[in-house]
Structure 1
């Protein structure tokens, strides 16, 4: 077998190839892209036997995505995505001086997959459709985060010179009403000059259909209320800032809607979509996020415990001597953890069994967040069973104890 350590950077890859004894066969810096990949295949071929298969090549690299990693997996190599923290700790086992170099990191990765790969996870073979869902789901979430950042910036700007707008659109600065009105009235002077009819027209163009007159009157009264004023030139400068931020937020809203449509279309084509959507608390967007972060390789998780550990919902235990503490995991896939937390919260109203489980943990003294994490852990186990058997969620099967208790009570 051959063991390859690949320390990647944006423009190049430092490569070290070792044999089964740890003897260095090749150390080279390769360029990123097709040329570098061709050189790597050639170096590996020079040291493979005539009858050896590509699967006899084990590659360690500190990432699990990108075209370079995809090319390694397609070639048939065993590719291990090593957590950078694990690689750093492995380096400290052998180098106490804290010396570090790209070539040295490549050696560390080659040594790690040669001696310790049983304790690490090979890159999963997710389908092309699952990868597409992942790209769209992460893009959708990134755009939502960007919209929230821009809304916070708009709020900070309005606080400086236009507090009446914050009263008119409290908590809804990224909403269609706020964007429609602030587009035509970005300063206090223009806001006070708005008539009810013009506000109604702006709201109608933005898509509001109900309570137009009442909402327009509320906005008009708020914008005409007394407020501390900034100097005219300063207010005009801030007004230009508001116009720019409103334009950015409007564009983000449009793009979020378009990406969400593409995400829904792509997710609906996946064979696991119906199973995911049958789970309590999972709608189209949240289910797509969960599928994207879990992947769809059926061999990726050996059992429900492995899926829970990857999800970050399973707690960890720190024990030393007489001291034993159970804690929530910190080093996790945060996108997946947040999606499962939201699922657990939504499941409280969608599943009587989930609600009973949450209430039972709260009665035993757990906090709201602790009870939700425990519920999320249970829901991950249920999801694992449904996906393994390709069976939709069933309330009675998922929560047999709660169902029996309800029948007895009835």
Structure 2
């Protein structure tokens, strides 16, 4: 059975408050992401964490349904172009829904994200989906879908790498914070197994961290070498 993810997107001038719920209303994730390309990337990454397990039999991608209080702008066009089903919710409708389901009627970004997710989960039949055939949507469709697919594929590869390391090289998971960062990939390329990693010099680790523009290089290199040699 295809999984459906319902997303409430409460937007402001410089950020979006996101909440993801499943078809039972269970909250799966909450996050604030910035406006623009970085925020869209983080949203795709967040959704990608709920993709089917790459180690299991192939299953359909989840259907993603988004509720947001606007139908204009590059952000909404990118969501539509990425294949998400986006509903433009009238702010007055959202306010009436808030009044019916909240004793205080108070407004907050996190609460509004939840509200929008619940509206598209329970009441989307009474709202209008954003059309995907505007000139702006068509213009960004190819780039937006390629961007999304690259993020999802990167997430799948990281999950596979994490699963493999957990089986035979768990120290790497303790030593490296992010498996898709350039310094991590460089060091794993030089030392892909526990025995080789135990011989890595602090100088080599420091050089990789410096090339990745890390802070506190000496301290971080000491921590990594200590974990790999333990």
TM range (shorter): 0.5 to 0.7
Residue of structure 1 in register with 2:85 after alignment: 78
Residue of structure 2 in register with 1:53 after alignment: 61
Larger radius of gyration, structure 1 or 2? 1
Residue of structure 1 in register with 2:117 after alignment: 110
Residue of structure 1 in register with 2:181 after alignment: none
Contact 1:30 1:36 in 2 (8 A): yes
Q: 1:122 to 1:99 in 2, by over 3 A?
A: same
1:52: how far off? 3.1
Residue 4 in structure 1 maps to residue 12 in structure 2: no
Q: Taking CA–CA contacts closer than 8 Å with sequence separation of 6 or more, which of the two structures ends up with the larger relative contact order?
A: 2
SS at match of 2:43: helix
Contact 2:8 2:18 in 1 (8 A): yes
TM-score by length of 2: 0.54
Residue of structure 2 in register with 1:23 after alignment: 26
Q: 1:41 to 1:98 in 2, by over 3 A?
A: same
SS at match of 1:47: coil
1:129: how far off? 7.8
Contact 1:2 1:48 in 2 (8 A): no
Q: How does 1:226-245 map to 2 (within 5 A)?
A: none
Could you tell me how far apart the structure 2 residues matched to 1:19 and 1:111 are? 10
SS at match of 1:122: coil
Residue 95 in structure 1 maps to residue 98 in structure 2: no
Unpaired segments ≥5 residues, structure 1: 133-410
Contact 2:81 2:138 in 1 (8 A): no
Residue of structure 2 in register with 1:121 after alignment: 128
Residue of structure 2 in register with 1:40 after alignment: 43
Could you tell me how far apart the structure 2 residues matched to 1:67 and 1:131 are? 11
Contact 2:132 2:138 in 1 (8 A): no
Q: How does 1:226-375 map to 2 (within 5 A)?
A: none
1:126: how far off? 2.5
Residue of structure 2 in register with 1:286 after alignment: none
SS at match of 1:59: strand
Higher helix fraction (1 or 2) = 1
1:49: how far off? 2.4
Unpaired segments ≥5 residues, structure 2: 54-58, 140-230
